Amino acid sequence: MQEKEDKKNTVIIGCDHAAYQLKEKIKEFMVSKGYSVEDVGTHSESSVDYPDFGVQVASQVSNGTYQRGILMCGTGLGMSMVANKYSNVRAALCTEPFSAGMSRHHNDSNILVLGGRITGEELAYEIVDVWLKTAFDGGRHQSRIEKFSRLGKAGE
């Protein structure tokens, strides 16, 4: 039970080779802010297939093992597509802090997606900080999330 609780307070993070350097910086930033991070890779700049890492993060957010995750690839587009295939996942590709905050306020996003080739380090820190600190507003937004959650996923 304690291990499951610890994981709920940990952010799971994954990336492909194109975002490896940014992931390492984001991990340092998050730890410096007091967050726990579970890194599922990749662990180098050697070429890998981004879906392998997107699946690891999205599946564990989908099943409730982790409440939140961060995914990164070159543009963030591929990881967004992979993550949003999973039930209960609301992955948001954010390129600036405003959309990161709104993705939490209105959409209760539970996976933040960043593009390692398009988002600079300092901007990424701002985006992550806003996303982690912003709460879901609930209320009228909850019914909207429930509405699109009922749509299901392809193949279900």
Q: Which sequence positions are flagged as catalytic? A: 73, 106
Q: Which of 100, 103, 87 is nearest to 148 (CA)?
A: 87
| Cβ neighbours for 5, distance < 8 A, ≥ 6 positions apart | none
- Contact (CB, 8 A) for 83 and 113: yes
- 112/80 Cα distance (integer angstroms): 9
Q: Which of 105, 81, 85 is nearest to 93 (CA)?
A: 81
Phi, psi values for residue 71, rounded to 5°: -125, 145
